[in-house]
Structures are given as C-alpha cells and as structure tokens.
Amino acid sequence: MTALFLRDLKLSVRAGGGALIGILFFLTIVAVVPFGVGPDLNLLSRIGPAIVWISALLAALLGLDRLFQAERDDGSLDLMLMHETPLVITVFVKCLAHWTASGLPLALAAPLLGVFMNMTETAIGVTMLTLLVGSPAITFIGAVGAAVAVALPRGGLLVSILVLPLTIPILIFGVSATYAAVHKPTPFLPPFLMLIALTLFFAVIGPAATALALRNTSD
C-alpha cells in the first residue's frame, strides 16, 4: 500500500499530473477577488475567510475526476479490482495520496492568500487549520463522484455537480469555525469539532461507497 501511495504522489508531481493546477486555480481566484470587490480593506478582511474557503473547495474539486479515470484509461483499474486487498483500502490510500498532492498544498498556500485579503493573524491561522482539517473530507466525497463518473468520457463537470451539494456542510462549518475564532463571543470549538467529525465520517463512508461504485461500473 505504501507503494501505491508513493506511486500516486510521483504521478501527481510528474508532467501532466495536475497537482499544480489546483494550486494555480486557487491562487487565481483569490488574487482576482480584491480587484472585483474594490480596495475596501475592511470588507476584504471580513469576507476573506469565506473567499479563501470557497476557492479552496473549487480548486479541490478540479482534479478529482482523474482520480480513477486515469487508472481506467490504461487498464490499471482492472488489476486493482482483481486484487485481494479490500478495494476499500486501495481507494482510501488513493484518496490519501490525492489529498497529500493536491489538498495539503492548498492549506499550506492559504496564509499567503490570507495576506492578499487583509486578514488578521488569527484569521489566517484558523483558516489554515480548518482547511487542513476539512479538505480531506472533500477528497473522500469527491472520490465517490469520481467513481460514479469513471466510465464517462467527459465526466469532470458531472463530478463537480454531483459532489458540490455534499460538500456544503464542510464549507459551512469550516467558515463558521473561522469566524467564531475571529469574533470572540461565539465559541470556536463546536463548529470545529463538527468539521473534524465530518472528515472522520466521510473518511469511512466515502471509500466504502467508492468501492461499491467502482465494482458496479466495471465492464
């Protein structure tokens, strides 16, 4: 399984892997917002965490459709389906590798973009923390969509549409935890713990549903 993890990491970094595209997309959206909203620093710092979270969500969805399609195109998926390691574990490891290559960099790039949005130190730190905790859930949900659309030639958009409604709770709790940390009277812990719970929940449900979908779409 370590071999699978390392292979997927290598693939996402090598040419055509697409790990960088997500970060570039993330940077582009956040960098463009101040131009659209105007130079009102108070407004920017107020909407900053939400903008960073929304951009990260969209960027995380961007590369998901290739998660299994690339494997299917060259026949590797067949061999993975045959193997006796439970498919759930194979899927889990693939999600983990995908998150490490494309979700983790988003969280790490968030502080830089926080500066663009005139966010305070606390807001920047908490946005990074919530992204770090919340983004794996996006990958686990997205994997289900990717598995359902694996046989479709242009399934990319479909995956995003299928997955987006399910990721809304993550967005809500991620952003509200950030705001709670900045505006003192509201407690920070409840939404943050909900975010952790969502990630753990989808880490279990996601791979199981993905494995089921992959088994049924094989032809």
Alpha carbons 93 and 142: distance in angstroms, whole number: 14
CB of 23 to another protein, least distance (A): 19
Among 9, 43, 47, 81, the residue binding another protein under the rule CB under 8 A is 81
Q: Which is nearer to another protein, 39 or 75 (CB)?
A: 75
Tell me the window of 61-69, 78-86, 132-140, 196-204 that interacts with another protein (CB under 8 A): 78-86
Q: Considering the rule CB under 8 A, would residue 17 count as an interface residue with another protein?
A: yes
Choice from 32, 37, 73, 122 touching another protein (CB under 8 A): 73
Does the footprint of another protein cover residue 153 (CB under 8 A)?
A: no
For position 76 contacting another protein by CB under 8 A, the verdict is yes
Nearest approach in angstroms of CB 85 to another protein is 8
Smallest separation, CB 17 to another protein (Å) = 7
- Identify which range of 10-18, 34-42, 115-123, 134-142 contacts another protein by CB under 8 A: 10-18
**SS3 for the chain, per residue?**
CHHHHHHHHHHHHCCCCCHHHHHHHHHHHHHHHHHHHCCCHHHHHHHHHHHHHHHHHHHHHHCCCHHHHHHHHCCHHHHHHHCCCCHHHHHHHHHHHHHHHHHHHHHHHHHHHHHHCCCCHHHHHHHHHHHHHHHHHHHHHHHHHHHHCCCCCCCHHHHHHHHHHHHHHHHHHHHHHHHHHHCCCCCCHHHHHHHHHHHHHHHHHHHHHHHHHHHHHCC
Q: Work out which of 32, 83, 161, 189 binds another protein, going by CB under 8 A.
A: 83
Residues in 189-218 at the binding interface with another protein, rule: CB under 8 A: 218
Q: Which residues bind another protein (CB under 8 A)?
A: 2-4, 7, 10-11, 14-17, 73-76, 78-84, 218-219
